[in-house]
Homo-oligomer: A and B are copies of this chain.
Amino acid sequence: MPKKSSSTPKRIRVDFEPLGRRVDNDLGDNLLTAAQAAGVQLVSLCGGIGSCDNCRVRLISGELSPPTSEEQDALGTEDLARGYRLACQAIPLSNVKIDIPPESLTAPQRLQIEGLETLIEPDPVVTSFDMQLTPPTLDDLRSDVSRVKQALDDLGIACPVIGLPVLEDLSDILRSQNWTARLVLRGDEVIVGLPLECGLLGLAVDIGTTKLAAYLVDLQNGNTLAKTGRMNPQISYGEDVVSRIAYTINNEGGRKLLQAKLVEAINDMLAELRNQTETEPEQVVEAVVVGNTAMHHLFAGLPVRQLGEAPYVPAVADPMDIPASQIGLMLAPGAYVHLPPNIAGYVGADHVAMLLATDMWDSARTVLALDIGTNTEISLATGGRLLSCSCASGPAFEGAHIHDGMRAAPGAIERVQIFGEEVRVHTVGSQPAVGICGSGILDAIAEMVAAGVLDSRGKLQKDHSLVDEDDGVVEFLIMPAKATGHEHNIIVTQKDVGEIQLAKGAIRAGIEILLEEAGLAHDEIEEFIVAGAFGTYLDIRSAVRVGMFPALPVDRFRQVGNAAGTGARQMLISAERRQATAEIVRRVEYIELTTHPNFTNEFIKAMTF
B171 touching A136, Cβ below 8 Å? no
A167 and B306 contact, Cβ closer than 8 Å, known pairs A141-B592, A345-B141, A590-B141: no
Q: Would you list which residues of chain A between 549 and 607 have a CB under 8 Å from chain B? A: 590, 592, 594-595
Q: Which of B144, B314, B327 contacts A313 (CB 8 A)?
A: B144
Which one of A144, A171, A317, A342 has the greatest number of beta carbons of chain B within 10 Å?
Answer: A171
Shortest Cβ distance from residue A157 to the other chain B in the assembled complex, whole angstroms: 16
A342 and B302 contact, Cβ closer than 8 Å, known pairs A315-B167, A316-B167: no
In whole angstroms, how far apart are the Cα atoms of A317 and B320 in the complex? 31
Instruction: Chain B residues near A263: list those with CB within 8 A.
Output: none
> Is there a chain B Cβ closer than 8 Å to A143's Cβ?
yes
A145 touching B318, Cβ below 8 Å? yes
In whole angstroms, how far apart are the Cα atoms of A538 and B337 in the complex? 55
In whole angstroms, how far apart are the Cα atoms of A315 and B148 in the complex? 10
Instruction: Chain B residues near A323: list those with CB within 8 A.
Output: 164
Copies in the complex: 2
Shortest Cβ distance from residue A57 to the other chain B in the assembled complex, whole angstroms: 30
B303 touching A146, Cβ below 8 Å? no
Binary flags per residue of A320-361, CB closer than 8 Å to B gives 1, else 0: 101101110000000000000010110000000000000000
In whole angstroms, how far apart are the Cα atoms of A320 and B342 in the complex? 34
A313 and B344 contact, Cβ closer than 8 Å, known pairs A144-B306, A164-B300, A306-B144: no
Instruction: Count residues of chain A with CB under 8 A from any CB of chain B.
Output: 46
Instruction: Chain B residues near A164: list those with CB within 8 A.
Output: 300-301, 320, 322-323, 326-327
> Is there a chain B Cβ closer than 8 Å to A472's Cβ?
no
A315 touching B138, Cβ below 8 Å? no
In whole angstroms, how far apart are the Cα atoms of A310 and B169 in the complex? 19
A171 and B138 contact, Cβ closer than 8 Å, known pairs A143-B315, A326-B164: no
> Is there a chain B Cβ closer than 8 Å to A274's Cβ?
no
- What are 5 A-to-B residue pairs whose CB atoms are below 8 Å? A136-B313, A143-B342, A144-B313, A144-B314, A164-B322
Q: A142-B317, A144-B314 are in contact. List 15 more A-B contacts (CB 8 A).
A: A138-B311, A138-B595, A141-B345, A143-B316, A143-B317, A143-B342, A144-B316, A145-B315, A145-B317, A146-B317, A164-B323, A167-B301, A167-B315, A172-B303, A175-B305
